[in-house]
Amino acid sequence: MLRVFLLVFTITTPGSGLSLPGLDRNLNMSGTVNEEDQYMCACQPAFNCLHNKNYCNTSRGAGCFALNGEDGIRKGCGADKEKHLLNCQGKRNVVWRPDSGGPNLVVKCCAYNLCNVDVEDLTLPPKVVAEETTFNMNMLMAVLVPIGVLIVAVVIVVLVFRHLQKRQPGSQESPRVREELLPQEYGGIRVTQVGDSTLQELIDESCTSGSGSGLPFLVQATVARSISLIECIGKGRYGSVWRGRYHDENLAVKIFSSRDEASWLRETEIYNTCLLRHEGILGYYASDMTSRNSCTQLWLIMHYHENGSLYDYLQSTTLDWEEMLRLCHSAAAGLVHLHTEIVGNQGKAAIAHRDIKSKNILVKGNGNCCIGDLGLAVTHTQENNKIDLGRNNKVGTKRYMAPELLDETLNPEYFEAFKQVDVYAFGLVIWEIARRCVTEGMFDDYKPPFWDVVPSDPSFDDMKKVVVIDQQRPAIPNRWSSDSILLQMSKLIQECWKCNPKARLTSLRIKKTLNQLLNQPQCKKIKDTNKC
172-231 pLDDT, tens digit each: 443 333 333 333 333 333 333 444 566 666 555 555 444 455 565 556 666 777 888 899
Contact 119, 81 (CB under 8 A): no
Identify the weakest region by mean pLDDT among 54-63, 436-445, 492-501.
Answer: 54-63
Which among 80, 260, 355, 373 is annotated as catalytic? 355
Q: Are residues 120 and 233 in the same domain?
A: no
How many domains does the structure of the chain reveal?
Answer: 3
Q: What is 185-210 written as a DSSP string? A: TT--B--EE-TT--HHHHHHHTTTSS
Is 264 among the domain residues?
Answer: yes
Q: Which H or E run includes 57?
A: strand 55-59
Number of neighbouring beta carbons within 10 Å of residue 296: 12
Beta strand 295-302 pairing with 249-256? antiparallel
Which of 254, 269, 302 finishes a domain?
302
Among 496, 489, 503, smallest CA distance to 436 is for 489
pLDDT in tens, 336-364: 999 999 987 778 999 999 999 999 999 99
Can you say whether residue 205 is alpha, beta or left, with left for phi > 0 and alpha for psi between -120 and 50 degrees?
alpha
Taken in order 207, 211, 213, 215, the sign of the CA dihedral is: negative
Which residue range is the domain that position 288 belongs to?
A: 179-302
- Cα separation, 215 vs 177, whole angstroms: 14
Instruction: Verify whether residue 355 is a known catalytic residue.
Output: yes
With a pLDDT cut of 70, the percent of the chain lying above it is 70
> In the predicted model, is pLDDT for residue 495 greater than 80?
yes
> What is the rounded average pLDDT for all residues in the chain?
78
Task: Give yes or no for a contact between 399 and 447, defined as CB atoms under 8 angstroms apart.
Answer: no
Calpha distance 63→47 (Å, rounded)? 19
Q: Residue 251: which of 284, 293, 275, 207 has the closest Cα?
A: 284
485 within 8 A of 523, measured Cβ to Cβ: yes
> Which of these, 411, 344, 371, 399, lies nearest to 507 by C-alpha position?
371
Can you tell me the distance from the alpha carbon of 398 to that of 377, in angstroms, rounded to the nearest whole number?
16
pLDDT at residue 418 is higher than 80: yes
Select from 302, 323, 352 the last residue of a domain. 302
pTM beyond 0.85, yes or no: no
Q: Which CATH number fits the domain that encloses residue 75?
A: 2.10.60
Task: Locate all alpha helices (DSSP H) within 446-528, ordered by sequence.
Answer: 460-463, 484-496, 507-518
Within 8 A by CB and 6+ apart from 329, the residues are 511, 514, 515, 518
Q: Same domain, yes or no, for 342 and 464?
A: yes
Per-residue pLDDT tens digits for 30-63 = 334 455 567 788 888 876 676 667 888 777 667 7
CATH code where residue 201 lies: 3.30.200.20
Asked if the model's pLDDT at residue 395 lies above 90, the reply is no
DSSP bridge pairs for 252: 243, 302
Q: Is residue 157 part of a domain?
A: no
What are the backbone angles phi and psi of residue 258, rounded to the nearest 5°? -65, -20
Q: Where residue 390 sits, what CATH number does that domain have? A: 1.10.510.10
